Structure 1
Amino acid sequence: MALSGSVEGPGWRVSARTSPVPEGFACTVCVAHGGACGEFEHEFNYAGRQTVERDALLAALREGMVWIDHKMANGFEL
């Protein structure tokens, strides 16, 4: 059974879901936010692998929140 979780704030959302891999667990992360150009959504595979599924989910959510922080601060453009 895959774990999933999400974190939301004003105008942004981060969600993640786990999947089993030979080394333990991997995660897919989805980040979304609103802005002047409308709603933006991006999905990516978190590069880290964890042996504990809960740790994989928390690490992926943390990575998604860092991504949102940089994006909302105009640190990069996609």
Structure 2
Amino acid sequence: MTAMQYFWRHPLAEQVREEGRVQAKAEMTLRILEWRGIAVPDEVRERVESCTDLDRLELWAQRAVHAADAAELFVDE
């Protein structure tokens, strides 16, 4: 049992969880735009999918809710 508890505290386990959170946030950001009927150009998709900063992805997801077009995600950057 101790080995199993240790695994969840292991840095590798935390890295895998963080990567999953980043990927999920990137996917959600793109989905919000798509659900709203906003075209997502390849360059926007690539920029969102390649981002590893969870805080930046959160900001982009919030912007996606109100954006008139996909490029508005990156305003002021």
What's the TM-score, normalizing by structure 1? 0.36
Larger radius of gyration between Structure 1 and Structure 2: 2
Higher strand proportion: 1
